[in-house]
């Protein structure tokens, strides 16, 4: 058996990790992998309050990593342990301002408004902003970006409720609040209750997200982009090109 693919994840929150892990399981199939969430730290004991959670936590982690690696994030010590770094940011962050997260940024490239569809009008620009956060204009080696539109709950909605009207209409990536649709679902198997995401409920249904992933790739362009980028990395590494 081959060694498991060791993946480091920087994401907005813990349920994003569950969804992304389920997606990777759907992509890799029987290939073993280990995914560790570096941000936010999975254990509250080790969570750095100066970095925080959410998209602001992603920003602060990126800036700190650049400082730690003297400007070259691909030389960060994390790559001594992990083969790949995934950076996650929801497309809805495009509507945020840095001040909302208590951040002062001289570029001030948030917020920006782009029409949807296509989802890529926003995610393409957001990916450039995320790269700027790690001090790069182009994607560095051993790094994959994950930018669901409008957020990872769109992927969850497609996977768990394929007959939902927003899903069947084909506009789920441009629907502003998939979390509200999940919140309105029947109690049995519900992952969001009273507006709160429940990690254990996400975990219990993660296998359904994995099983639906190939179908989901056809519904969500950002799920397809993440899958292609992830697969390209694995193929390049197996060929000794990374």
By percentage, how much of the chain surpasses pLDDT 90? 87
* pLDDT value, residue 45: 43
- Give the pLDDT confidence of 133-153 residue by residue, as tens digits: 999 999 999 999 999 999 999
CA distances from 168 to 24, 158, 172, 239 (A): 24, 9, 8, 39
Determine the Cα–Cα distance for residues 233 and 239; give it in Å rounded to an integer.
Answer: 10
DSSP letter (8 states) at residue 11: -
Task: Report helix, strand or coil for 133.
Answer: helix
By percentage, how much of the chain surpasses pLDDT 70? 95
* pLDDT value, residue 42: 62
- 241 confidence band (pLDDT: 50, 70, 90): low
- 50 confidence band (pLDDT: 50, 70, 90): low
pLDDT over threshold 80, residue 242: no
DSSP letter (8 states) at residue 95: G
Average pLDDT over residues 28-56: 82
User: DSSP of 35-48, one letter per residue?
Assistant: EEEEETTSSGGG--
Average pLDDT over residues 11-36: 97
The domain ranges of the chain are 5-148+221-238
């Amino acid at each position: 058996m081959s060694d498991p693919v060791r993946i480091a994840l920087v994401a907005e929150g813990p349920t994003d990790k569950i969804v992304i892990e389920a997606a990777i399981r759907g992509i890799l199939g029987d290939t073993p992998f280990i995914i560790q969430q570096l941000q936010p730290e999975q254990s509250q004991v080790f969570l750095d309050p100066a970095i925080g959670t959410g998209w602001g936590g992603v920003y602060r982690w990126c800036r700190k990593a650049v400082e730690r690696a003297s400007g070259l994030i691909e030389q960060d010590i994390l790559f001594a342990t992990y083969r790949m770094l995934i950076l996650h940011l929801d497309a809805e962050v495009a509507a945020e301002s840095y001040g909302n997260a208590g951040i002062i940024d001289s570029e001030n490239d948030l917020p920006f408004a782009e029409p949807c569809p296509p989802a890529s009008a926003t995610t393409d620009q957001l990916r450039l902003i995320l790269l700027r956060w790690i001090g790069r204009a182009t994607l560095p080696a051993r790094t994959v970006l994950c930018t669901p539109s409008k957020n990872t709950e769109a992927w969850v909605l497609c996977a768990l409720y394929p007959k939902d009207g927003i899903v069947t209409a084909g506009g789920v990536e441009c629907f502003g609040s998939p979390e509200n649709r999940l919140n309105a679902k029947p109690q049995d198997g519900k992952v969001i209750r009273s507006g709160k995401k429940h990690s254990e409920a996400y975990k219990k249904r993660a296998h359904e997200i994995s099983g639906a992933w190939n179908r989901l790739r056809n519904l969500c362009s950002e799920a397809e982009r993440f899958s292609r980028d992830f697969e390209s990395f694995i193929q390049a590494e197996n060929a000794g090109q990374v």
